[in-house]
Chains A and B, each alone.
Chain A
Amino acid sequence: EAGVAQSPRYKIIEKRQSVAFWCNPISGHATLYWYQQILGQGPKLLIQFQNNGVVDDSQLPKDRFSAERLKGVDSTLKIQPAKLEDSAVYLCASSWPAGGRETQYFGPGTRLLVL
């Protein structure tokens, strides 16, 4: 079974620029998560989708971050404009069935550096 795919793997941008990350979950997984992992910290949930609906976006900085999951499959996470403190690894994960207590499968992450 193919794992969660993410791209790009690395991105370097200057502050105030915009950036987008893409995630393709495991086929059939209804729930998709985006996490932010700052150096030295554990992953922090930014947004959770169930199919193509948002279940939890309480920790998403909505003034600059946005995410969508079209057709309940792929998802994109966008930052506009980026700040220095957005430098982190952005992890995508997926799980099945929906609910939140099942095992989550993680992608390799996108490492973002904001200069």
Chain B
Amino acid sequence: AQRVTQPEKLLSVFKGAPVELKCNYSYSGSPELFWYVQYSRQRLQLLLRHISRESIKGFTADLNKGETSFHLKKPFAQEEDSAMYYCALSGWSSGGSNYKLTFGKGTLLTVNP
């Protein structure tokens, strides 16, 4: 079974401060990991995926297979980063017929002025 854990429900930082949203996963195979974001009154959308190794809106995330983590980081938070962030893992389903996306419970990030 695959599982994604986001230990913080809420995270509050000041503008300009570094931010790290934690994500740990459990999966026996080779995972594909994503961060999705939902801004206020907008739909859920992809922020970044580990296979792309991109930096989106200043955010980066590194897959650490030893620690089974995929933490999201940004060196200087901006007020517009305030949103709900979901870590997600795509793994082979237990039924064995498809890849399935499993989400964590999400972390609500608030960046204060």
Which residues of A approach B to under 8 Å, CB–CB?
Answer: 3-4, 33, 40-45, 48, 50, 55-56, 58, 91, 99-101, 103-109
Contact = CB atoms under 8 A, between A and B. Distances in A.
Interface residues of B, number: 25
A25 to B, nearest CB: 13
Contact of B100 (A4, A40, A42, A56): A56
Nearest to A40: B105
Contact of B99 (A42, A43, A100): A100
B86 interface: yes
Nearest to A56: B98
Given A45-B100, A99-B99, A58 B93 contact: yes
28 contacts: A3-B43, A33-B101, A42-B86, A42-B88, A42-B105, A42-B106, A43-B44, A43-B86, A44-B103, A45-B100, A55-B98, A56-B97, A56-B100, A58-B93, A58-B94, A91-B44, A100-B98, A100-B99, A100-B101, A101-B90, A103-B34, A103-B46, A103-B49, A104-B46, A104-B101, A105-B45, A106-B43, A108-B43
Given A100-B90, A100-B98, A101-B90, A43 B103 contact: yes
Contacts of A56: 93, 95, 97-98, 100
A6 to B, nearest CB: 9
Given A56-B93, A109-B43, A101 B99 contact: yes
Contacts of A42: 4, 86, 88, 103-106
Nearest to A109: B43
B32 interface: yes
Interface in B70-99: 86, 88, 90, 93-95, 97-99
Nearest to B49: A103
Given A43-B103, A44-B103, A100-B100, 18 more contacts: A33-B101, A41-B105, A42-B106, A43-B86, A45-B102, A55-B97, A55-B98, A56-B95, A56-B97, A91-B44, A99-B99, A101-B32, A101-B90, A103-B49, A104-B101, A106-B45, A107-B43, A108-B43
